[in-house]
A = this chain, B = another copy of it.
Amino acid sequence: MGTENPTAAILIIGNEILSGRTQDVNVQFLARRLAAIGHRLEEVRVVPDVSERIIRAVNELRASYDNLFTTGGIGPTHDDITSECVAAAFGVPWEKHRPTWDALAHHLGENFNAARQRMAMMPRGAAPIPNMVSIAPGFSIGNVHVMAGVPQVMQSMFATLERQLAPGVPIAMRAVHGFGVREGSIAAGLGAIQQKYSALDLGSYPFYRQSGSGVAIVAKGTDVEALDAAIGEAEALIAAQGVAAIRGEPDL
């Protein structure tokens, strides 16, 4: 893939992922949506709800990639510390965001207590990310986009956000499956295809399913003609093993 793709990282602030209580589903959602708008997801990190860990990760990742998307830790409870940590990472005050404050005060009335008031605080200079599920917004500051951890809320925030991100060339995928094929038997041929189409990412993924075992060959890239040609050669490689090659998009 080329330089026409902005890079991205995801930072998950989430004790609940590190404890195994919760199965993360935000990475896959964001990965697919980012690929569709031509942003190349280069790294994911999961860190606990610990200030210095969050601040360090925000600063490392925002320096390394064009955009950083965070999920989690923006609610009203004691373990929701993402917002003040992002302020600290940027070295700016964490303060009332007046329009958000007023909107929450209006909406919540006498229930706009001290805990909820924290959701109207943002790093100075942040712009809110509204969403359809929760009255409390996420926010963007610089190249960092701070979203909720709850999938429904995060997805609604990202829907707002993705219309604002400068699109790159969409990153497409093609896949072909060979049941009964062993990776070791096609590795040399596959390596040759990767060399020939060096601008693509060609991956090989063994699978073990009730319906049978085999290998999925997946090609990713921005050049659709090259993708089709490469996956065609992978298909021939599988067919040469004497089994049917099943074309299809990846397991979406």
Contacts and interface: CB of A to CB of B under 8 A. Distances in A.
A77 B204 contact: yes
A23 B25 contact: yes
A111 B181 CA distance: 13
A59 interface: no
Given A42-B48, A46-B43, A183 B150 contact: no
Given A152-B208, A203-B49, A208-B133, A187 B21 contact: no
A19 B47 CA distance: 21
A206 interface: yes
Interface stretch (A83-91, A112-120, A124-132, A138-146): A112-120
Count identical subunits in the complex: 2
A150 B209 CA distance: 11
Main secondary structure, interface of A, reads mixed
Interface string A44-59: 1111110001000000
A63 interface: no
A119 B115 CA distance: 54
B78 A202 contact: yes
A111 B220 CA distance: 29
Size range of the chain A interface in the assembly: 35 or more
Given A76-B184, A184-B116, A19 B44 contact: no
A42 to B, nearest CB: 6
A62 interface: no
17 contacts: A17-B28, A18-B42, A19-B220, A20-B30, A22-B28, A22-B205, A22-B251, A23-B25, A24-B24, A27-B46, A77-B183, A77-B187, A79-B204, A115-B191, A116-B184, A149-B205, A150-B206
